[in-house]
Amino acid sequence: MALTKARNQMIEGAYVNVQDFGAVGDDSTDDTLAIQAAIDSVQGSTYGGVVYIPAGIYKITTALNITSKKVSMLGEGGEASRISALSCNVINFTSASYDGGNCFFQDFALIGRAGSDPNYAAVQSILPAGGTSSVDSRDGLHFHRLTIRDWNQGFIISDTWEWSVTECKISKVNNPFYFGTYNMVGRITSNWITWENGDSHGGSLNATSYAIDLYGAVVEGLQITGNHIFGFKRILDVPLAIYIVFQNNDVAFDEYGINVQSVSNGFWITGNYFNTRANNAICIKGQPLGTEGDSLVVVSNNHFVQNSGLTGCIGIDLNTGATTYQWHWRIINNLFNSLTSYDIRSQHSGGLVIEGNRCRSTAVTYNISVTNVYSSDPVYIRNNSCEKASGIEVTASDVDNGDTILTDNQVAGSPYYGNSFDTQLVIQDGITAPSALTGFARLYVDTADGDLKIIFADGTVKTISTDT
């Protein structure tokens, strides 16, 4: 039974039905004013309320504005209750504060209307011109079980605190999430996010777009967990982020899984499945940086896979630019399978720990390649298992001077040079004589003659034994 306007006026915080305000939901009538009137009726009340959207297709031609806290919207689930927008956003949040608003938007669909200008978003939460430094929406905006389809952008969120998007189905959207400055403590959890060709509304797929784009100057406390994200050229862009978690996601992509530029105070990438779907795709890319920062990027317990029939894909690729760096990554306990370029590659970086990884790719140039280490921050390569015969590549001078430290690695079932074990000492057979190292004498098997030799700190070389 539909609630009436009169009944709503007597009961603060009650449900209001958009049809009681004149909305028709016949996919033809312009229902903009009716739905906005329903919203305004609860915005003007002391305790707010819930705007109920019965089954139907409600055409709107101007964005619905929500400017007060404690305003929620509820539909019938799936696409039964559908708001179809013509050349406009569906919902705009423009107030300076939704603090404690507990605004819930649940169980309805936001659909871009065929024939309209594609350059709009389903939901936009952004500070109005002339407002304060951020939208205080602490525990304010929550989107649950929405269906969002046929848009250029799904959620534009900027200057917004403590929000969540959970169990939504998002398809045919160029940029499902587009985040600006001062986007704080958000949750993107258990969503199904896909790109589909043949889109009738949302414009063409932008070749540089990301499913989740943290384009703003400060994004802090974002958690992206348990999502399925398929069919995009790029999944996640991180230009500058503080304490970000990307966990237990299943992603497939054509170019980048995650593009990391600058991170402060932690970025955890754990328990994800990365699946490349085009030649030369990179699961995790660390872009060159000019200065050292307290990044601490932890990449652990992920599975990196290249689709069959592809070439040139890389699991983790850190800083391929000369004399610029990525610092303080921890690449731990990951599985790499079927990649054809590198499992892990790092150039001109420092402070890395590459430990406990299972590198099963056999068509790669190297399983692990670490070259030209930044001299003030050693790289530790330890306890890794590499199945390719040429499994590990390092710069000899980095090993000589202690910038690259290798321990307890296995390559094609055999110990790799530089390893130490409790019951044996293993020295690689046949290497170029190492340089003298102050305070140490160094053992090696000379590549020229196969003799076991020792080089002392002053550069003196002596043969310990020879074949007879």
Closest CA to 77 of 146, 27, 123, 16: 146
Closest CA to 42 of 77, 76, 18: 18
- On whether both 253 and 295 belong to a single domain, the answer is yes
- Check pLDDT > 70 for residue 211: yes
Average pLDDT of the residues of the chain: 84
- On whether both 295 and 146 belong to a single domain, the answer is yes
Closest CA to 415 of 393, 450, 383: 383
Q: Is 228 helix (H, G, I), strand (E, B) or coil?
A: strand
What is the rounded average pLDDT of the residues 1-23?
Answer: 66
- Record the tokens describing residue 455, joined without a space: 């080089």
Percent helix, strand, coil in the chain (nearest 5)? 5, 50, 45
With cut-offs at 50, 70 and 90, classify the pLDDT of residue 299: very high
- On whether both 229 and 314 belong to a single domain, the answer is yes
Q: Is 6 helix (H, G, I), strand (E, B) or coil?
A: helix
- Check pLDDT > 50 for residue 402: yes
pLDDT tens string 366-378:
999 999 888 778 8
CATH at residue 115: 2.160.20.10
pLDDT tens string 126-141:
654 333 445 555 557 8
- On whether both 393 and 439 belong to a single domain, the answer is no
Q: Which residue has the higher pLDDT, 117 or 72?
A: 72
Q: Are 377 and 405 in contact (CB under 8 A)?
A: no
- Check pLDDT > 80 for residue 359: yes
Long-range contacts of 251-254 (CB under 8 A, 24+ apart): 251/227, 251/275, 252/276, 252/277, 253/229, 253/277, 253/278, 253/281, 254/278, 254/281
Q: What is the pLDDT of residue 401?
A: 79
When mean pLDDT is compared across 170-184, 192-206, 263-277, the lowest value belongs to: 192-206
pLDDT tens string 149-158:
998 889 988 7
Tokens 């929405």 -> residue:
146
Whether the predicted model's global pTM rises above the 0.75 cut: yes
Q: What is the pLDDT of residue 101?
A: 62
Q: Is 18 helix (H, G, I), strand (E, B) or coil?
A: helix
∠ CA 414-417-422 to the nearest 5 degrees? 75
CA–CA separation, 92 and 73 (whole Å) = 13
- Record the tokens describing residue 330, joined without a space: 């921890």
With cut-offs at 50, 70 and 90, classify the pLDDT of residue 38: very high
- Of 382, 402, 421, the one marking the end of a domain is 421
Q: What is the pLDDT of residue 199?
A: 39
Closest CA to 108 of 81, 90, 84, 89: 81
| % of the chain surpassing 90 pLDDT | 47
Within a domain: 280: yes
Within a domain: 296: yes
Q: Which residue has the higher pLDDT, 152 or 289?
A: 152
Closest CA to 280 of 335, 340, 322: 340
Within a domain: 257: yes
Q: What is the pLDDT of residue 328?
A: 86
- Check pLDDT > 90 for residue 105: yes
Q: What is the pLDDT of residue 39?
A: 95
Closest CA to 446 of 468, 424, 462: 462
Closest CA to 412 of 362, 463, 371, 449: 362
- On whether both 181 and 218 belong to a single domain, the answer is yes
Q: Which residue has the higher pLDDT, 199 or 323?
A: 323
Count: domains in the chain = 2
CA–CA separation, 368 and 388 (whole Å) = 10
Q: What is the pLDDT of residue 205?
A: 46
Q: What is the pLDDT of residue 130?
A: 38
Within a domain: 26: no
- On whether both 141 and 237 belong to a single domain, the answer is yes
- On whether both 299 and 353 belong to a single domain, the answer is yes
Amino acid identity of 308? S
Q: What is the pLDDT of residue 296?
A: 84
Q: What is the pLDDT of residue 396?
A: 82
- Check pLDDT > 80 for residue 30: yes
Q: What is the pLDDT of residue 9?
A: 44
Domain holding 467, by residue range, is 427-468
Within a domain: 55: no
Q: What is the pLDDT of residue 323?
A: 64
pLDDT tens string 229-248:
998 889 999 887 788 999 99
Q: What is the pLDDT of residue 5?
A: 44
Within a domain: 256: yes
- Of 406, 421, 436, the one marking the end of a domain is 421
What is the rounded average pLDDT of the residues 22-50?
Answer: 93
With cut-offs at 50, 70 and 90, classify the pLDDT of residue 283: very high
When mean pLDDT is compared across 322-326, 379-383, 433-437, the lowest value belongs to: 322-326
Within a domain: 57: no
Q: Are 424 and 407 in contact (CB under 8 A)?
A: no
- On whether both 157 and 223 belong to a single domain, the answer is yes
Within a domain: 235: yes
With cut-offs at 50, 70 and 90, classify the pLDDT of residue 180: confident
- Residue 446: how many other CB atoms lie within 10 Å: 15
CA–CA separation, 36 and 39 (whole Å) = 5
User: Please, what is the end-to-end C-alpha distance for the chain in angstroms?
Assistant: 101
What is the rounded average pLDDT of the residues 316-333?
Answer: 83
Q: What is the pLDDT of residue 131?
A: 39
- On whether both 456 and 331 belong to a single domain, the answer is no
Q: Are 281 and 253 in contact (CB under 8 A)?
A: yes
Closest CA to 277 of 346, 338, 335: 338
- 452-455 and 442-445: which strand pairing? antiparallel
- On whether both 147 and 207 belong to a single domain, the answer is yes
- On whether both 434 and 340 belong to a single domain, the answer is no
- On whether both 376 and 465 belong to a single domain, the answer is no
Q: What is the pLDDT of residue 400?
A: 74
Q: Which residue has the higher pLDDT, 412 or 270?
A: 270
